Amino acid sequence: MAVSVDEAVSTGPARDNPPPARRLGGRGRSALEVALLTVLAVVMLFPVLWMIETSIKENRDVYAIPAKFFDFTVTLEHYRDVFVAPDGGRSALSVSFLNSVVVAGVSTVLATVLGVPAAWAYSRFAVKAKKDQLFFILSTRFMPPVVVVIPIFLMYRQVGLIDNKLGLILIYAAFNVPFTIWMMKGFVDEVPAEYEDAAMLDGYTRLQAFWKFTLPLLVPGIAATAVFALIFSWNEFVFATFLTSSDSVRTAPPAIAGLIGGTTTDWGLVAAASVVFALPVLVFAYLVRRHLIAGVTLGAVRR
Amino acid sequence: MGTVAAHGLRKSFGKVQALDGVTLDVPDGSFFVVLGPSGAGKTTTLRAIAGLEKLDAGSVRLDGRDATADAPAARDLAMVFQNYALYPRHTVYENIASPLRARRCSASEIATAVEQMSSLLHIERLLQRRPAQLSGGEMQRVALARALVRRPRAFLMDEPLTNLDLKLRVEMRTELTRIHRSLGATFVYVTNDQVEALSMANQVAILKEGTVQQVGTPTEVYERPANKWVAGFVGSPPISLLACHAEGDRLVGADGWTLPRPRWATAEDGRALLLGLRAEDLSVEQRGDASLSGELYGLEPLGDRTVVDVRVGREILKVKARPTVTGTPGERLRVTVDLDRAHLFDADTGLSLSEVGR
Ligand SMILES: Nc1ncnc2c1ncn2[C@@H]1O[C@H](COP(=O)(O)OP(=O)(O)OP(=O)(O)O)[C@@H](O)[C@H]1O
Ligand SMILES: [Mg+2]
């Protein structure tokens, strides 16, 4: 899932809003509403449920017609196959998961380390043509990856970053820095500049004031932003497909996609790999929820 | 030592000219009050002195040395912010200790200083709380403590008492004056409360729309306002201003009244003037030769005195009277004027003409 620009812009101010009030106070939903919601939930969640079921079915149950919903034999062999190669060594899939962890992790750290101070600077200082600069930064997110992947492929070939984890890390960081700047600027704007002013009069330098007094207040915002960036890098498919080819460099999305096709497809393995791949995202989504709700300013500034 | 000299400060925020050539000379050890209405540029002036605002023009000299380009930390000043700016994640103790920590004082030094300050400002009970758990008045005292815990070159205070209740404010006023005297330090104190300004200051600078209208002792500012705006801003109830002109040995009001022309009023005949009369220089009781006739418009009992509104022509005169005074609106009465204490202003420029002949 790539975080769209709209989300990036609107998330900041939305934090302070109370959760939307339930129209009928929760209990008083009409039977029609409940029925509609149930149908929606089943439709939305069915693929997920089917994926989980497939991942723990034996192969002959996977292909059984009519499909078996409940009375199948449970097995964890697909999960073993995700991590262990037939010869007993490490599987290619597990290497790709590790690659995903490294690429997503490092690119997120990079984007955060570059983006947070930049957001602070845009929020606090009188920068020439600030609006234009911010718009330019945002505009780098306007184009979908597919549009830029060819030029980037050509550039990467020149500098030898094709089929290289560093190449993916850099391109993901490049995509996440604008997002981080925009999102974090909203959070920094919310923290009154007076804390830093007071700290500077106390005797700290501007950077110390930022580091000691503003940064701790930004932690929830940084966490939320980083999780979004992480999810983008984790899920990214287009660049990963075009810019990597060897098993030792590939990230999980193209690796999983690579399992499909050929003469036979081991659907059990695809499902198990997908479950393993989706889990971190679910956990992060949960974290985002918590952090987005957490207010940033607990402060003592009279407004 | 602690002299603060700001010369020709100019600062604009977009179209708003917040400071339009502000010049202040604060002598060492004085209690210098900057008084002005909301939006006059008081906070901006203080922030400029502290080095928090990049100036369009002007210079700041501290102890005679040019500090215009110095970082705030290098200026050795302490400031109480109008909105407190207490660190939300830190306890009250840590907030007060912050200036000392930044300057690497020893833990025992810090403990002693914080303890001393907190007992002085009656916040010992609050030391372990966080700012969010304090009332407005408590926050204000913590902000004061954070400033006073150190011995800087000068203290900058931005309306530090506005959020206290009346009793506490009066108490803190006396307390601050006492602290100022015992420290002998320079205070630059911003307020929009003229009572605070007049009661605490050695010197008052009156600020309006980014320009200094007058600098002087509280008495000077009250007794000899430089222009009609200062006269109207300082004093409560506000001074009454009557349009008039001089004609031979008389002052003739736009509403037809006449008063004997004071000796000091040297303005040429016919020039448009404003006669400024303070409530305490008017009376509805004594009989004197200089008086105006009008009708009772309203009574404002204030406990220790009553302010009588008298309508003279189209204008309302505020007259200070004894609390026992009575009357019915519409009733005709005469107001005696103490012309020796009256003020005259040029109606066009607003500048005072009283000083010329007096
Ligand atoms: N950061 C800013 N951006 C834009 N305008 C500002 C800024 N700071 C101050 N101003 C404007 O400059 C003028 C002076 O503001 P300042 O805060 O100095 O007033 P003040 O005298 O302290 O008023 P108050 O008594 O209400 O605190 C005001 O018109 C204000 O709107
Ligand atoms: Mg102010």
Supply the CATH number for residue B35's domain.
3.40.50.300
User: How close is the Cα of B200 to the center of ligand 2, in Å?
Assistant: 19
User: B102 to chain A: which residues are within 8 Å by CB?
Assistant: 199, 202-204, 208
User: What is the C-alpha to C-alpha distance for residues B292 and B296, in angstroms, rounded to an integer?
Assistant: 12
**pLDDT value, residue B24:** 96
Dihedral over Cα of B49, B10, B231, B236: its sign: negative
Query: B177 and B68, same structural domain?
Result: yes
Write down which residue in B189, B210, B227 finishes a domain: B227
Indicate if B181 and B90 belong to the same structural domain. Answer: yes
Residues B144 and B239 in one domain: no
Alpha carbon dihedral B248, B253, B254, B257, in 10-degree steps, equals -110
- pLDDT value at position B357? 52
- Per-residue pLDDT 10s for chain B (358 aa) are 799 999 999 999 989 999 999 999 999 999 999 999 999 999 999 999 999 999 999 999 999 999 999 999 999 999 999 999 999 999 999 999 999 999 999 999 999 999 999 998 889 999 999 999 999 889 999 999 999 999 999 999 999 998 888 888 998 899 899 999 988 999 999 999 999 999 999 999 999 999 999 999 999 999 999 999 999 999 989 999 999 998 888 899 988 899 998 888 887 888 899 999 999 999 988 677 788 989 999 999 999 999 999 999 888 999 999 999 888 999 998 999 998 889 999 999 999 987 655 6
Cα A68 to Cα A53: distance, rounded to the nearest angstrom: 10
| Closest alpha carbon within chain B to A194 | B85
Q: What is the DSSP letter of B177?
A: H
Distances (CA, A) of A22 to A35, A57, A96, A145: 17, 40, 43, 38
d(CA A258, CA A241) in angstroms, rounded, equals 10
Phi/psi at B20 (nearest 5 deg)? Answer: -125, 65
- What's the gap in Å between B25 CA and the centre of ligand 1? 22
Cβ atoms B330, B337 nearer than 8 A: no
Residues with CB under 5 A from ligand 2 (ion): B 43, 82
Which of B199, B227, B255 is the endpoint of a domain?
B227
Each residue of B266-291: pLDDT tens digit?
878 888 999 999 999 999 886 777 88
Cis check for the bond before B237: say yes or no (omega within 30 of 0): yes
Average pLDDT, whole number, for chain B?
Answer: 92
Residues of chain A with pLDDT under 50: 1-22, 24-25, 295-303
Of A173, A161, A165, which Cα lies nearest the Cα of A110? A173
Interface confidence, given as ipTM, is: 0.87
Same domain, B254 and B324: yes
Q: Give the total number of structural domains in chain B.
A: 2
CATH number at B344 reads 2.40.50.140
Expressed in angstroms and rounded, the spacing between residue A106 Cα and the centre of ligand 2 is 45
Instruction: Identify the residues whose C-beta falls under 6 Å from ligand 1.
Output: B 13, 16, 18, 36, 38-44, 82, 192
Q: Give the pairing type, strands B250-253 and B258-260.
A: antiparallel
CB B210 within 8 A of CB B20: yes
Q: What chain A residue is nearest to B155 in terms of C-alpha separation?
A: A201
Residues B34 and B162 occupy one common structural domain = yes
On whether both B216 and B258 belong to a single domain, the answer is: no
| pLDDT, position B291 | 87
ω into A66 cis (within 30 of 0) = yes
CA-based nearest distance B141→chain A, Å: 13
Looking at the structure, do residues B261 and B316 belong to the same domain, yes or no?
yes
Domain boundaries, position B168: 4-227
Integer Cα distance of B35 and B9 in angstroms: 17
Task: Identify the residue whose C-alpha is closest to ligand 1 atom 27.
Answer: B38
Last residue of one domain, picked from the residues B187, B206, B227: B227
Superfamily of structural domain A5-17+91-296: MetI-like (1.10.3720.10)
Predicted local confidence at residue B218, as pLDDT: 95
- Residue B87 with chain A: CB contacts under 8 Å: 195, 198-199, 213, 300
Distance from CA of B58 to the nearest CA of A (A): 19
d(CA B176, CA B174): 6
Q: Phi and psi for B357 in degrees, rounded to 5? A: -95, -15
Q: Which residue among B83, B87, B132 places its CB closest to the CB of A302?
A: B83
Q: Which residues in chain B are closer than 8 Å to A300, comparing Cβ atoms?
A: 84-88, 131-132, 134, 139
Same domain, B8 and B152: yes
Min Cα–Cα distance to chain A from B82, Å: 8
- What CA–CA distance (Å, rounded) separates A118 from B261? 69
First to last CA, chain B: 38
Q: What span, in angstroms and rounded, lies between the C-alpha atoms of B351 and B345?
A: 5
The CA distance from A135 to A133, in Å, is 5
